[in-house]
């Protein structure tokens, strides 16, 4: 499972059109484009409801904010990319704060998130071994999305569908952002 922010459909479609004109990589389909706040590898069934409740509480205490995609990179390094991504400029600090709250809620629910440092990004592709991502990063850096309001967080179940197939993502809870207490 993971908790994520989904860009609006028009932003995902614009990005998909941008990527479609650039063959040579297996790009993330638009319906799966998201900004992961917390990845929880194994969430027992008994923990899903408490997790959703605690995430709802964390989200209700967070104001909605504007976000936009810009910048690009590769994890762990452009010479050895496991992931190509688009970054976030506008809204990056708010995403960091929201990710911190979401991860704390997940820990309290017993759904321990991975320990990776949070970097606001949208995964676009997982290049094969031996790929140098420098050229792709230069291309991806030319994309900038419009700003959009982040109104909610999704708790998503990722269902594996066999070797060579992308996992299927299904939102199990949609958690609206609220007004932060004054």
Q: What is the DSSP string of 127-138?
A: PPTT---HHHHH
Q: Which helix (H) or strand (E) holds 46?
A: helix 45-60
Q: Is 165 a catalytic residue?
A: no
Q: Is 36 left (phi over 0), alpha (psi -120 to 50) or beta?
A: beta
Catalytic, out of 34, 154, 165, 169: 34
The burial of 40, by beta-carbon neighbours within 10 Å (0-12 exposed, 13-18 middle, 19 or more buried), is given as buried
Q: Is 34 a catalytic residue?
A: yes
DSSP letter, residue 32: G
Q: How far is CA 76 from the centre of its chain?
A: 17
DSSP state of 117: P
What percentage of the chain's residues is helix, strand, coil (to nearest 5)? 30, 30, 40
Among the options 70, 77, 121, 165, which is catalytic? 121
Catalytic residues: 34, 121
């Amino acid at each position: 499972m993971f908790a994520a922010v989904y860009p609006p459909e028009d932003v995902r479609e614009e990005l998909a059109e941008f990527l479609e004109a650039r063959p040579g990589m297996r790009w993330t389909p638009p319906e799966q484009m998201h900004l992961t706040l917390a990845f929880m590898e194994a969430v027992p069934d008994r923990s899903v409801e408490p997790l959703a409740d605690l995430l709802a509480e964390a989200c209700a205490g967070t104001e909605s904010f504007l976000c936009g995609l810009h910048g690009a990179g590769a994890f762990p390094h452009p010479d050895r990319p496991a992931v190509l991504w688009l970054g976030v400029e506008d809204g990056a600090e708010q995403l960091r704060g929201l990710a911190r709250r979401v991860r704390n809620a997940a820990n309290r629910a017993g759904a321990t998130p991975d320990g990776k440092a949070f970097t606001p990004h949208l995964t676009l592709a997982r290049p094969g071994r031996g790929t140098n991502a420098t050229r792709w990063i230069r291309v991806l850096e030319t994309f900038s999305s419009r700003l959009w309001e982040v109104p909610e967080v999704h708790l998503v179940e990722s269902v594996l569908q066999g070797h060579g197939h992308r996992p299927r993502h299904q939102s199990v809870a949609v958690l609206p952002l609220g007004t932060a207490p004054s």
